[in-house]
Amino acid sequence: MSDLQADSSSELRRLERAEAVLAARRRALTVVLEDAHDPHNVSAVLRTCDALGIQDVHLVAENEPDSILNPKVTIGADRWLTIHRHRGTGDAITAIRSAGYRIHVSHVAPSATSLPDLPSSGRAAYVFGNERSGVTDAWVRAADATFLIPTVGFSGSLNLSVAVALTLYDRLLGRPHAQLPPGDLSPEEHDVLRAQWYAALAGSRADRQQTYAALAASHAVSPGSLFAADRRQRASHRAS
C-alpha cells in the first residue's frame, strides 16, 4: 500500500471496508420485485439487500413501467448491487430458473406457507409483487412454494419494503443465536465485483484509478471491519 497518496489511511480503510463487504456477499438468496411502482419502496429494498449482503436484485416490469430509484433512499446502495432488469415476467422466470434458483412467491392465499415454516436452505429467489395487486398469476404457477408473513392486525398486510426486510431477516437470522452467514461468491465472482467496486471508489481521479486497479488485480488489501458502529465511533472521535 506504499504507493497510495498522503491520505492513504482513509483510502486504506475504504478498500478494507470494500473487501469485508465483498467477503460477506451472497448469491444463494436473491430478491425479485414485479411491477413495484413506488420509488421509495424499490429504493428501500435495494438498501436493505445491500445491508444484509444480498448481491442480486431482479426488477421485473410486466404491467408497469420500469421501476425508478430514489437516491435519497438508496444512499448509493444501488452502486454495489447487481441489478437485473427484465421486461416481462416470462423472461424473468427463465433467467431465475437458469441460475438455479427455487422460486418462493409472496402470495396471500389459504394454501400459502407461513414464512417461518418455509425451509430456508438452498438457493432461492423470493418474489414480491405490485403494492396494490400483488404478483401476477405467472409467478404463482411457477412457484415452488408460496408464502405469507403472519400478521394479527386490522390491516392484514405490510408495506412492500418492510415485507422484504422481514423476509430476509427471517431467512438469514430467524433462528436462535443466528449470525449473518458468510458470503458464498466464487473467487471469479469476487474478482469481477472487486474490479467494479474499486473503480467506483476511485472515482474520476486518474492517479487513484491506476492505483486501485493495480490493488484490485493483486488482491493486496485484506478485509477490514464490517460494523457500522465502528464508523460511527471513528466519526465521534474525529468530532471531539
The answer to whether the CB of 193 falls within 8 A of the CB of 200 is: no
Average pLDDT rounded to a whole number, residues 231-235: 53
Give, as one character, the DSSP assignment of residue 64.
Answer: S
- How far is CA 28 from its chain centroid? 11
- Residue 223's CB is within 10 A of a number of other CB atoms, namely 15
Residue 6 in this model has a pLDDT that exceeds 50: no
pLDDT attached to residue 1: 45
pTM: 0.90
Query: Which of 12-16, 190-194, 200-204, 232-236 is predicted least confidently?
Result: 232-236
pLDDT in tens, 87-141: 999 999 999 999 999 999 999 999 999 999 999 989 999 999 999 999 999 999 9
Residue 25 in this model has a pLDDT that exceeds 80: yes
pLDDT attached to residue 156: 81
Find where cell 400459502 sits. 112
More confident residue, 78 or 12: 78
- Rounded CA-CA distance 31/19 in Å is 23
- Rounded CA-CA distance 195/170 in Å is 32
Residue 240 in this model has a pLDDT that exceeds 80: no
pLDDT attached to residue 233: 55
Residue 49 in this model has a pLDDT that exceeds 90: yes
Contacts with 160 (C-beta within 8 Å, 6 or more apart), sequence order: 33, 36, 38, 41, 45, 128, 131
Average pLDDT rounded to a whole number, residues 184-213: 96
More confident residue, 151 or 6: 151
Residue 191 in this model has a pLDDT that exceeds 90: yes
pLDDT attached to residue 157: 84
pLDDT attached to residue 10: 83
Ordered by where they begin, the domains of the chain are 8-22+185-239 (no CATH), 27-173 (3.40.1280.10)
pLDDT in tens, 107-121: 999 999 999 999 998
Percentage of residues of the chain with pLDDT beyond 90: 82
Across the chain, what does the average pLDDT equal? 91
